[in-house]
Structure 1
Amino acid sequence: MNALNKSIEPGAVFDHGEFCDHENVVFVRNKRTGLSAIIAVHDTTLGPALGGCRVWPYPNPHDALNDALRLSKGMTYKNALAGLNLGGGKAVIIADARETKTAAMMEAFGAHVDRLHGTYITAEDVGVSPADMDAVSRKTKHVRGTSAMGLGDPSPFTALGVFEGIKAAARHVFGNDDLKGVRVSVQGLGHVGFDVASRLHDAGANLIVSDIHAPAVEKAVTAFGAKTVEAPDAHAVDAEIFVPCALGAGLNRNTIQSIKAKIVAGAANNQLETPEDGRALKDRGILYAPDYAINAGGVISVALATHKDHEEGVRAKTMLIGDTLTEIFQRSVLENKTPEAVADEMAEERLAAAAKRHL
């Protein structure tokens, strides 16, 4: 049965815990290609909503809706904090990226994006490749990260921003950003996680790596001389820095109490299961780099690089992620707030200023 045939009552959207004044939530389907998707536009105060398309085999449409709502709001804050004139949106396609995703399905998705008339601009996310974006672009111009436009795969810029954020966190906690000999646990070795691990290795860090995909772990062991641990235990190893680069909600009441690291700074989206988990990290003396602040390099590249010769500017703006995090950490201390609360305030300040200009 097609996943969206399992009904979602209208009230389930408006009463959903992750619904936060979203401007538009669209449920789409194409029977011919098997497409079932949700597109969520959270806020367009700063401009069209930009956010990636995630392909994932959600067990039910409620889980897909949860991701679409939560991630789209996160994109609003990420784009605002990154200084981009873009709002926040997200799309999720209920499919297995390795088994059921097809070019025809992505084209059908592109046609639905086009029906939103530019209020939502799509791009890559989990389970989506540049080739998929090329397929989407055959049906809409409201897409980024294609082979014909931009810098291609945004993951190297995401990894660059994460690495700069890790260094900023190290300066705040340890007084310098020398990572030589520092033990770092990297959880998740996809495109971004592996690139972050490579940068850490080049900086002299001692790596402990984990991933549910065994070949990725083996590749990291060979390339970096890394030690290994099972992915569910990556947060609890003896390390100074924990770098979560897998799926979200990994920082929760079941994991935080066993974290030994002094810094949590990684690429995964929505790392905190609840806002209370951020306070729990602070109470334990663990510095948390807000995910949407540290992992903004990818969206910066997607937003700004419309031609190949834009790479230098994208790289320069991505490097500023470290400065943004330094400001967040400093305000967190001065105001006795969690870093994510400060990051939210900084994003909301920019949104409020833009809203006033529109009056």
Structure 2
Amino acid sequence: MFHHPSFDAHERVLFASDETAGFRAIIAVHNTVRGPALGGCRVWTYADDDAALTDALRLSRGMSYKSAMADLPLGGGKSVMIVKERGAATPAMFEALGRAIADLNGRYIVAEDVGSSPKDLLNVRRHTAHVTGLDPEDGGRGDPSPTTSRGVFIGVEATAKAVGFSSLEGVHVAVQGLGNVGYGLARHLRDAGARLTVADISSERVAMAERELGAKAAPVEAIGEVEADIFSPNALGAGLNAMTIPRLKVRAVAGGANNQLATPADDEALRERGILYAPDYVLNAGGVIKMAGEYYRWDDAEVDRRVDGIADRLSEIFTEAARTSRPTGEVADRLAEARFARH
């Protein structure tokens, strides 16, 4: 495993199983220099065990960078539960996960992710207190997507100012993806006076944005070619690549989708085109900030203060990138690594 392509000095990788429960999972703890490793539990039908390990290693590493750039007292972790088919995870499996997390003695905090829910986390909590992201009726803070949307909006606003706009009034933003985060972002943008062009695979969501937000619609396959001021990807990852970057007709890219760059080379490709890229994990940190607030019992004012800080962190990245003539994604990574470096 130490020679696995996705292994990056991870502190702990736990392979856990419970034959009676039909439970198999991998918990990866990447870094705990800043605090316990936070990351969701992904429940998935992996092609093989190596694919599951790759996901756990890659996603836990990404959480270290996100937590560090959000200036949280947290590191990065992830758990992946391997199931034979979607919807096959049982309460007994989540209880087994709770026992495995308890064995890590506070090094890892679990939250929801693809395939798991706040209700599933209640079964985890039967065996460990290191759980966050619960529903309000169960002592949690509830859905993190509104906080994520607000953080992405703050990031878009900071990016607009970095390319010369005094405010978002009249700024044309092409929004790709109208899920919970994307639609919340579009609403914030409308309220700030931005002009919207939107696209989503759901025609109902697009029609709602046209009706409620005064947005114009674009085909899903063409939203990345709309002539606008800012392109905001809020759907699937890897959307910025060698095929799509040459077609962009914007001054900046700022959105909430994870892993927007298909390869590290795409970071430099954007810079060479003169398109300012706001690193995705800096913008979309609102959710993890809210989950940290639940775990550490911060009040709403403290959570809001930390989400507001996204603008300052982007400013730091943009300033350093301009000073060094380096792409913004690379600069963000170096700043994050300095924050969780082992001394």
The one of 99, 107, 118 equivalent to 1:119 is: 107
**Matched residues, number:** 341
CA-to-partner distance for each residue in 1:193-219, whole Å, 9 max, x for gaps? 221121112222222323334443343
Tell whether 2:264 aligns with 1:275. Answer: yes
Shift of 1:322: 0.6
Q: Structure 1: any 5+ residue segments left out of the alignment? A: 1-12
Distance in 2 between residues matched to 1:215 and 1:102, nearest whole Å: 32
CA-to-partner distance for each residue in 1:293-338, whole Å, 9 max, x for gaps? 1111111111123487711110111101011101110111011111
Tell me which residue corresponds to 2:28. Answer: 40
Tell me which residue corresponds to 1:133. Answer: 121
Distance in 2 between residues matched to 1:74 and 1:264, nearest whole Å: 20
Tell whether 2:180 aligns with 1:191. Answer: yes
CA-to-partner distance for each residue in 1:91-129, whole Å, 9 max, x for gaps? 233459974445444333333322322211111233443
- For residues 193 and 63 of structure 1, do their structure 2 counterparts lie closer, same or farther at Cα, with a shift above 3 Å needed? farther
| SS state at 1:141 partner | coil
Mapping of residues 20-169 of structure 1, within 5 Å? 20-30=8-18, 35-94=23-82, 99-147=87-135, 148-169=138-159
Tell whether 2:250 aligns with 1:264. Answer: no
**CA RMSD of superposed structures (Å):** 2.5
Tell me which residue corresponds to 2:322. Answer: 333
Tell whether 2:258 aligns with 1:286. Answer: no
- For residues 201 and 37 of structure 1, do their structure 2 counterparts lie closer, same or farther at Cα, with a shift above 3 Å needed? farther
Shift of 1:188: 2.4
Q: Percent of aligned pairs with the same residue?
A: 50
Shift of 1:143: 0.8
CA-to-partner distance for each residue in 1:41-64, whole Å, 9 max, x for gaps? 111122211112233444454443
CA-to-partner distance for each residue in 1:2-43, whole Å, 9 max, x for gaps? xxxxxxxxxxx4333322111222334455655443322111
- For residues 350 and 99 of structure 1, do their structure 2 counterparts lie closer, same or farther at Cα, with a shift above 3 Å needed? closer
Distance in 2 between residues matched to 1:118 and 1:308, nearest whole Å: 16
Query: Which shows bigger deviation, 323-332 or 228-237?
Result: 228-237
TM-score, normalised relative to structure 1? 0.85
- For residues 55 and 195 of structure 1, do their structure 2 counterparts lie closer, same or farther at Cα, with a shift above 3 Å needed? farther
Tell me which residue corresponds to 2:171. Answer: 182
Distance in 1 between residues matched to 2:50 and 2:207, nearest whole Å: 35
Q: Structure 2: any 5+ residue segments left out of the alignment? A: none
Query: Which shows bigger deviation, 85-94 or 268-277?
Result: 85-94
- For residues 217 and 101 of structure 1, do their structure 2 counterparts lie closer, same or farther at Cα, with a shift above 3 Å needed? farther
Shift of 1:68: 2.1
Contact 2:31 2:340 in 1 (8 A): no
